[in-house]
Structure 1
């Protein structure tokens, strides 16, 4: 089937997504995998939210932010996976111009929210370890709610950047070599001032990834210093273990995101970029609940308590 490209000068009203069409042998396997992964993501993250809300022992600032992260993961996964499932078995799925921009903006908004939320969680860990006596006073309910609201509001404002950066129309090309509408792929379709658009896209990536990550590194540097001052080896080990789950999520999230957004794009690495993108947008939200439930003793105990109540 030939892909028709709109003539130059015509207004683009829809985009053709050919990411999965380049691998027809894997379409069914990819489709089934997405169904399973999305179900695990939804059930796992929903379970963490329920456990934190139901168990009174988990009503602390740490788990307040922890329950916000699963909600964010559900939203992020639902932004792209349902569309992939709806169009996964079609040869060349199309998406309207407005839907493409909405999907791109939503993904950027949720991704930026994740970056800021991880930074807030790092700050919470810094307070509890460096100033435990005043932890409840500093991280009270009002402050926690305000931090979450500022996180989502700041991410929303930042998500407007791609709309401003990418022109409102394209000069004929409407084929996106990916599964969904990504900022990098749309920038490749811009034929006017392409270097400027690509540079602006790089600037967007720098300001949305390294800045929150720098704050996280700064927080954990102070955490390490504070923990090393503890005399008891058992207390030091416990302090480090409380940060283990958060650090694992940070490494997974920022590792894939930095590679995907800040790595120079090339045709030769397109398949590799697609794999990293799927891992970042689909697999990572599934891994987060597994990381927290397997590593966090309190969450595991609360989950066992709920299961035993259901059985009895």
Structure 2
């Protein structure tokens, strides 16, 4: 906890990734390229699913919303980081910092919920295929997606409200964005309530999401192993492998970041895991979900052919 000084803080200074001036431009170029890849890849997924009627199924609707979440979470952090790297203007207002924190937690909650729903979708498709149409109807899918966004937008409010007016004079955030733990360490007020809320909501949302996903995959794997056909087992595994890979990466990074006491916070280590979550997960999702997905690739090539055909000049015969 920071010492209690007089006067309220109205803005913070973001320390950033490095103090070395020589590294600012290389880091700017690196993160700009990564950001463009993330936006391009996730926008491609969103557009192909939107314009391809063959992909208007529950699994692809969830994947489309995951792409929206990845674009939003990355855009919440990386443009501000790029601006600071190129301009060296590291100040951020208290309101701007709290807004960034709110959307960071909100979109992380969305991703947890979406990946859990996608695991349930795979469970129903493989373990209970006869009831798939009823259990994953358009109405049920819309309800699940709406519930995901409601949880994401409501859950961070308590954290932000309790943190908003708890700063006095310490205003240097030794991080590259307004993360929860660095803000807790800067607070000159008692942060016990915020820490309790973090652990309670983290357990209710993060651990329960992990538990539901784990249970779903236990049933999925046990069902797949009972399939006698080798081709059938490979096909069933292929539909789950991409989702399982994304789940493992997400939970490993976020659990390493937040499932620990505040006192054990390590600056360099947690900056690294924050980068993994903010950059690696949205960057890998488009690659993992599309490279070996035949349905998506067919829809992508069809859409590309339609676009190219519409752009080519029409030959007129007289």
Q: Does 1:97 align with 2:91?
A: no
Q: Deviations over 1:152-187 (max 9, x none)?
A: 101212121312442523121111001110011100
Instruction: State how 1:173-184 maps to structure 2 within 5 Å.
Output: 173-184=170-181
User: Structure 1 stretches (4+) deviating beyond 6 angstroms?
Assistant: none
SS at 1:284 equivalent? helix
Instruction: State how 1:85-124 maps to structure 2 within 5 Å.
Output: 85-91=82-88, 93-124=90-121
Q: Does 1:228 align with 2:225?
A: yes
From the superposition, tell whether residues 26 and 266 of structure 1 become closer, same or farther in structure 2 (CA, over 3 Å): farther
- Any unmatched runs of 5+ in structure 2? 310-318
Counterpart in the other structure of 1:130? 127
From the superposition, tell whether residues 295 and 161 of structure 1 become closer, same or farther in structure 2 (CA, over 3 Å): farther
From the superposition, tell whether residues 308 and 117 of structure 1 become closer, same or farther in structure 2 (CA, over 3 Å): same
Higher mean C-alpha displacement, 80-89 vs 57-66: 80-89
Structure 1 CA distance for aligned equivalents of residues 179 and 187 of structure 2: 13
Structure 2 CA distance for aligned equivalents of residues 103 and 289 of structure 1: 24
Contact 1:18 1:92 in 2 (8 A): no
Higher mean C-alpha displacement, 280-289 vs 171-180: 280-289
Instruction: Give the TM-score normalised by the residue count of structure 1.
Output: 0.92
Counterpart in the other structure of 2:305? 308
Counterpart in the other structure of 2:31? 34
Contact 2:242 2:289 in 1 (8 A): yes
**Please, what is the CA RMSD of the aligned residues?**
2.2
Instruction: Give the TM-score normalised by the residue count of structure 2.
Output: 0.90
Counterpart in the other structure of 1:213? 210
Structure 2 CA distance for aligned equivalents of residues 75 and 158 of structure 1: 17
Structure 2 CA distance for aligned equivalents of residues 29 and 143 of structure 1: 47
Structure 2 CA distance for aligned equivalents of residues 39 and 211 of structure 1: 33
Contact 1:20 1:178 in 2 (8 A): yes
Structure 1 CA distance for aligned equivalents of residues 146 and 236 of structure 2: 28
Instruction: State how 1:125-274 maps to structure 2 within 5 Å.
Output: 125-166=122-163, 168-194=165-191, 197-264=194-261, 269-274=266-271
SS at 2:86 equivalent? coil
Contact 1:6 1:174 in 2 (8 A): no
Q: Deviations over 1:239-258 (max 9, x none)?
A: 11100110111111111111
From the superposition, tell whether residues 206 and 268 of structure 1 become closer, same or farther in structure 2 (CA, over 3 Å): closer
Counterpart in the other structure of 2:40? 43
Contact 1:245 1:296 in 2 (8 A): no
Higher mean C-alpha displacement, 92-101 vs 6-15: 6-15
Equivalenced residue count is: 308
- Any unmatched runs of 5+ in structure 1? none
Contact 2:81 2:176 in 1 (8 A): yes
Q: Select which of 41, 57, 61 maps to 1:60.
A: 57
Contact 2:101 2:160 in 1 (8 A): no
